[in-house]
A and B are shown apart, each in its own frame.
Chain A
């Protein structure tokens, strides 16, 4: 399939978008996490792609404000792919599917690398050097961490550009099917993460006497035996229902959850 438009982005634009990955979390919030940051990070590139069509530019930019949450280090991989796809006029739904499919895996890889790999490694090396009297140890500590993660960003941005452009050349007719695969993969990860991220724990417990021994039984333990993470799922579905059926705004929901959290905690229902 021929691309429906002639790419206008140069390598310099991609480099710029990689450097702009540092603004990803500058508007982090509980509504959309990195959503605003994502739109902001690719805005100059989108402006270049849609420079003749202000309305289209606004539409695509606002569509990228939606929820996003990944690790900022491998993040340029996503933006490079997305920009390559936008730039060649790929279907926006496909771009979106790819974007969300990459979110979970990249967060996993990024966290494993930056939080549980690099940081503890250099922490333990340079903290022990500092304890041995090397007072300037913090300098190589930060240089190593910053340098390596900067390299990761550059490399991921480059790989994303490679993949993005090759997908367009060879696989564009199969994009819909690939996007479907990506959506499914993405939703699996999102569903799994939602189970472990959302925390709803009942504080209720009762005591019972079995053969003269008193036992404290927590209701939460019983619920977990019936079906683990039952309440987080119920809560997520409740919020989903509020959004889709009741058309509640995020702010309203956040306030509701805040009040509910404090109230239920004070009443001794949740802990």
Chain B
């Protein structure tokens, strides 16, 4: 089954809008929503939405989120799987899902690529602002979005015109490169963390670094728990620091005295 150029253009635009929504955080990058639009364009809403729902459930935990990790992306199945489900008669939704899954794995590489190419954005943006070229800055501030839109448009357009060619392309990427890029993707977040630490870390914050490590490495704490642990350390520091200040203002920083005092109060209670 073949589709017209106009349909391919519309699918491309729809895919671009949906994928851009991932950056805006508006949930358009969910399989259920992507399938809906493609079903309307290709003229089989019923099949599209049933496939979309199947893919949606498979990708439930994925989607809008912060960067760093890039899980398999529902755009792949959302576009390719829907087209497969509609165009290949008799193909069950689950089969279309597994056939289109390679595309879910392809997308994170594209995202990684765009994020990496744009990794020097700080330097470019700083230069643009310092030189007063605000138009240029506004372009730079939308580069990733532009990359997403261009990619998703091409992806949707190409997928509509030839599903088989895209599949061949994915299979043509050598395995060593895919696993190599996966490893590199795991190393890259170190840059962001090292950057922030390079501007924040002072000697007196080292306990915070160790605490953060212990909480995650040994105690497997989720991030909210981590924040509470950090709060304990920070407030402890804050109040004890104040007490130390007071002592300094006193005649002689007499540790025993203040400790006795505290002990006394506690005993009293």
- A-to-B contact residues, CB < 8 Å: 22-37, 39-40, 54, 58, 61-62, 65-67, 69-73, 100, 104-105, 107-112, 114-116, 119-120, 123-124, 126-128, 130-131, 133, 135, 137-139, 141-142, 145-146, 149, 177, 180-201, 227-229, 232-233, 235-240, 242-244, 249-251, 253-254, 257-258, 260-266, 270-271
Residues in chain B near residue A188, CB distance under 8 A: 208-209, 211-212, 215, 226-227, 229-230, 233-234
Determine how close the nearest CB of chain A comes to the CB of B129; give it in whole angstroms: 5
Query: Does B238 touch A at the CB level, under 8 Å?
Result: yes
Q: A33-B192, A100-B200, A257-B191 are in contact. Are A200 and B209 (CB under 8 A)?
A: no
Contact A67 B195 (CB under 8 A): yes
Select one of B45, B191, B230 contacting A135, CB under 8 A: B45
Q: What band does the interface of chain B fall in when counting residues whose beta carbon is under 8 Å from A? A: 35 or more
B238 near A187 with CB under 8 A, answer no
Asked whether A115 lies within 8 Å of B138 as measured between CB atoms, the reply is no
Check if B64 sits within 8 Å of A119, measured CB to CB.
yes
Contact assessment for B30 and A119 in the assembled complex, using a CB-CB cutoff below 8 Å: yes
User: 17 A-B pairs, CB-CB below 8 angstroms?
Assistant: A26-B24, A27-B143, A28-B67, A31-B118, A70-B66, A71-B65, A108-B226, A115-B64, A127-B32, A127-B54, A131-B53, A142-B28, A189-B212, A193-B212, A193-B223, A243-B194, A249-B120
Q: List the B side residues contacting A139 at CB < 8 Å.
A: 36
Give chain B interface residues in 208-250, CB to chain A under 8 Å: 208-213, 215-218, 221-224, 226-227, 229-231, 233-235, 237-238, 241-242
Q: Which residues of B contact A29 (CB under 8 A)?
A: 114-121, 143-144
B65 with A30: CB separation less than 8 A: no
Which label, helix, strand, loop or mixed, suits the secondary structure of the A interface?
A: helix
Question: Which residues of chain A come closer than 8 Å to B91, judged between CB atoms?
Answer: none
Q: How far is the CA of A253 from the CA of B68 in the complex (A)?
A: 16
Q: A25-B144, A138-B52, A186-B200 are in contact. Are A258 and B138 (CB under 8 A)?
A: no
B143 to chain A minimum Cβ distance, whole angstroms, is: 5
